[in-house]
Amino acid sequence: MSVSLLEASDLTRNYQLDAAPVAALRGVSLKVERGDFIALTGPSGCGKSTLLQICGAMDRADGGELRLDGLEVKSLNDAALTRLRREKIGFVFQFFNLLPTLSVRENIAMPLLLAKTPEPDAFERAALLADRVGIAHRLDHLPAQISGGEAQRAALARAVIHRPGLLIADEPTGSLDSTNGRRVLNLLQELNQELGVAVLMATHDAGVASAAGKILAMKDGRMVEPA
């Protein structure tokens, strides 16, 4: 049997604030297989973003185990973890997080440029993906010069340009109107199917979650049965 793309067991994460520590994750386990589309639901503050940041190697758990593509994350130093994140994972956030001084083309190409892909090749693939998500006519614009829906589609193109196995999306439709949210959700589904990229998406919107193949629910830092 092939190894899971992501396998987490009993993850814990405590945030240390001055007086009161916050137990954001209290023992969370999950598996993501290649090609999955999983929605992570639960009320505000239940730990969704904390879990996604750990699963995406942007943060480390305090306890438990996390394997990405079979690699035990605890055994990796920060440089190795950064490399793994850049090569194998794509991210989409609620507020797009495009770099404001770079063009849409440069933003989309950034994961390839960071991996030292020659600029003409990176820009060619950025243009292909921009076309795929319907923003080919916005490549020379700055992020401030495009709409929210266009910005999130640019962020989607950026998230998959380096062909990651796992795409992590934290409330990707959370700051869009319903039409643009639906469009981004459809694109997520299509990219999941066309590219085979597994998607792990946090949302508190049941309609958005229903687009996923599988729904997980959290409450108070733990997995619970979906409602």
Ligand X SMILES: Nc1ncnc2c1ncn2[C@@H]1O[C@H](COP(=O)(O)OP(=O)(O)OP(=O)(O)O)[C@@H](O)[C@H]1O
95 is in the binding site of which of Mg ion, ligand X, none (Cβ under 5 to 8 A by kind)?
none
Three-class SS state of 167: strand
Three-class SS state of 72: strand
| Binding pattern for the stretch 36-75 against ligand X, x by CB under 6 A and - elsewhere | ------x-xxxxxxx-------------------------
- Closer CB to ligand X, residue 24 or residue 191? 24
C-beta of residue 27 within 8 angstroms of C-beta of residue 10: yes
Would you say the C-alpha torsion 64, 68, 72, 74 has a positive or negative sign?
Answer: negative
Q: According to the binding rule CB under 6 A, does residue 22 interact with ligand X?
A: yes
Least distance from ligand X to the Cβ atom of residue 39, Å:
13
Least distance from ligand X to the Cβ atom of residue 172, Å:
12
Stretch that binds Mg ion, among 5-13, 48-56, 59-67, 172-180 (CB under 5 A): 48-56
224 is in the binding site of which of Mg ion, ligand X, none (Cβ under 5 to 8 A by kind)?
none
| CA gap 25, 12 in Å, rounded | 5
Please identify which residue in the block is written with the tokens 């989607």. 156
Q: Which residues touch 185 (CB under 8 Å, ≥6 apart)?
A: 172, 173, 208, 211
Least distance from Mg ion to the Cβ atom of residue 29, Å:
20
Among 49, 103, 173, 180, which residue sits at the site for Mg ion (rule: CB under 5 A)?
49
Give the residue from 28, 40, 9, 8 showing the smallest Cα distance to 199: 40
Q: Which two tokens stand for residue 68?
A: 């990405």
Residue nearest to Mg ion (CB): 49
Chain contacts with ligand X (rule: CB under 6 A): 15, 17, 22, 24, 42, 44-50, 204
